[in-house]
Amino acid sequence: MFKQLLSVFLESRCEFCQRTTSHILCEYCWQKLSSHQLSKSDRLKLDQTQNIFAWGRYDGQLKRAIALMKYQRKPEIADVLGILLAKAWLESKSIKLPPKITVVPIPLHVKKQEERGFNQAEVMAKSFCQITTGYQLNTQALIRVKETEAMFNLKTLAARDNNIQGALQIGAKLPKYPVLLLDDIHTTGTTVKEAIKILQHKQIEVIGVAVAAKAGIRQ
């Protein structure tokens, strides 16, 4: 599985430890990343407003992978995380799914996306849809119209709610099918709840959210 997923370069350096490898990650770092993968029984969390499907715990090497992806501008890590998430999604039978699904990545504000060079959720969603054949990718269903502060800088739910309020709007292309939202991390779910509210206001069904990492899960 390691070779199948990560073999993209003939000769390169591991994104984590800089060891020489023919993959994005060396075997050692891949094993450390895999140690944060959730068991099948722990991948799905149900609450009042969301079905949250997560590949792994937001900790250790997975947490570092996401930081490298976002702040060191490494979209290839987003591609790998999207593949891993799709593989886990296809293995799971926990959610009763509609016959057709539209995958909608959580959008970045245009300024932040220009600074980073990519939207990690969008890169993940593209590789996710390549594996889950038949799912329709829609990157224009939601847009972010307000530049928000990073959620990890905000310590209270009230501050997070105020930060995201009015930040998202329906985009130029409405989804044709029930929506699966996709993002890199799920913490308090503030952004996802706002996205669901915006979509449901247009009578668009949201079946849940798929993320690479879920915070607050103990080993």
Spatial contact of 38 and 215, defined as CB atoms under 8 Å apart: no
The residues, any chain, with a CB within 8 Å of residue 185's CB and separated by 6 or more, are: 58, 66, 211, 212, 213, 214, 215
Residue 90 corresponds to which tokens in the numbers above? 């296809």
Q: What is the pLDDT of residues 71-105, one digit of tens each?
A: 999 999 999 999 999 999 998 876 678 889 999 99
Architecture in CATH of 39-214: 3-Layer(aba) Sandwich (3.40)
Neighbour-count burial for 133-163, b at 16+ CB within 10 Å, e otherwise:
eebebbbebbbbeeebeeeeebeeeeebeeb
The pLDDT value given to residue 95: 67
**How far is it, in rounded angstroms, from Cα 13 to Cα 91?**
31
> What is the predicted pLDDT for the residue at 189?
86
Q: What is the pLDDT of residues 142-177, one digit of tens each?
A: 999 987 777 666 667 788 777 788 889 999 999 999
CA distance 176 to 11: 42
**pTM (2 decimals)?**
0.87
Q: What are phi and psi of 63, to 5 degrees?
A: -60, -40
Segments of the chain assigned to CATH 3.40.50:
39-214
Q: How many CA atoms lie within 13 A of 192 on its CB side?
A: 26
* Range in 3-12, 27-36, 118-127, 185-194 with the lowest mean pLDDT: 3-12
The model's confidence at residue 9, banded by pLDDT at 50, 70 and 90, is very low
